[in-house]
Amino acid sequence: MIELLRGTVVSREHNHVVLDCAGVGYGLEVPHSTFLSLPEEGTEARLLVHFRMSESEISLYGFATELERRLFRALLGVQSIGPKLALVLLSTLPAGEMIRAIREEDLVVLTSVPGIGEKTAKRLCVELRGPLTKIAEAMPPGPGEAEGEIAPGITRAMRDQAVAALVQLGTKPAHAVKAVSRGARTLAGEPTVERLIVESLRHR
């Protein structure tokens, strides 16, 4: 079973990366956070791997951190959550924010993820609250997580203010949460509530 790959980035697009490892090209599907962390083509990258084999195909999924890989594997254990939807969850919500949402049963945040309805969101909370608590306790906090950041420089309080602002502008709450989550991950420069709101409006 393949657990880790280190090689040269041959191509990277649409959350898919090809690594040349000793002359063999491996194609991996990756969450958006991992995709953003990848170096440019022609340089070396290291990815943790989840190997999955079905009757029809063999698939490889790559992750920049052990936390994301553990979350992915935990998500696959939930009924109706397959690899594609698990990647969507990891691509939409930062790892720490996903764990918080599931532990606190924040259905607004969870249902903001494309493909996740209220029924599935509740199932995630019931089935993963315990396992994710153990995963979070076993893993060291990432940069900013101890201070309650959901993205570099973006705290939950800032996120909540931005969501409230979008709702006041007529955005549905679930869509506002989704837009702010995306805005927090694409915001460049000094993070402020005002700039986060402007960036989030682009993702409505």
* Record: fold of 147-201: Helicase, Ruva Protein; domain 3 (1.10.8)
What is the structure's pLDDT at 140?
A: 57
Residue 111 pairs in a beta bridge with none
The topology under which CATH files domain 4-63 is OB fold (Dihydrolipoamide Acetyltransferase, E2P) (2.40.50)
pLDDT tens string 38-84: 989 999 999 999 999 988 889 999 999 999 999 999 999 999 999 99
What confidence score (pLDDT) does residue 146 get?
A: 44
pLDDT tens digits for range 137-160:
776 555 444 444 566 678 878 888
Our separate counts of H helices and E strands in the chain read 9, 7
Which residues of the chain are in CATH 1.10.8 domains?
147-201
Task: Read off φ and ψ for residue 143, nearest 5 degrees.
Answer: -55, 125
CB atoms within 10 A of CB 50: 22
Helical spans, DSSP H, in the chain: 32-37, 66-76, 83-92, 95-103, 107-110, 118-138, 156-168, 173-186, 193-201
Two structure tokens written together for 121: 């969101």
Q: Per mean pLDDT, which range of 16-25, 119-128, 182-191 is the poorest?
A: 182-191
The CA–CA distances, whole Å, from 159 to 176, 188, 196 equal 10, 15, 8
Q: What is the four-CA torsion angle of 154, 157, 161, 166, rounded to 10 degrees?
A: 60
What kind of fold does domain 66-138 have according to CATH?
DNA polymerase; domain 1 (1.10.150)
Tell me how crowded residue 61 is: count the other CB atoms within 10 A of its CB. Answer: 24
Burial 13-26 (b: 16+ CB within 10 A, else e): eebebbbbeeeeeb
Min mean pLDDT across 50-64, 80-94, 111-125, 156-170 is at 156-170
CA angle in degrees (0–180, nearest 5) for 105-126-115: 70
For the question of whether the overall pTM of this predicted structure is more than 0.95, the answer is: no
Residue 66 confidence (pLDDT): 92
Q: Which two tokens stand for residue 88?
A: 């969507």
Query: Between 3 and 156, where is the model more confident?
Result: 3
- Torsion, Cα of 120, 123, 125, 129 (10° steps): -140
- Contacting residues for 164 by C-beta, under 8 A, at least 6 apart: none
Chain-centre distance for alpha carbon 176: 17
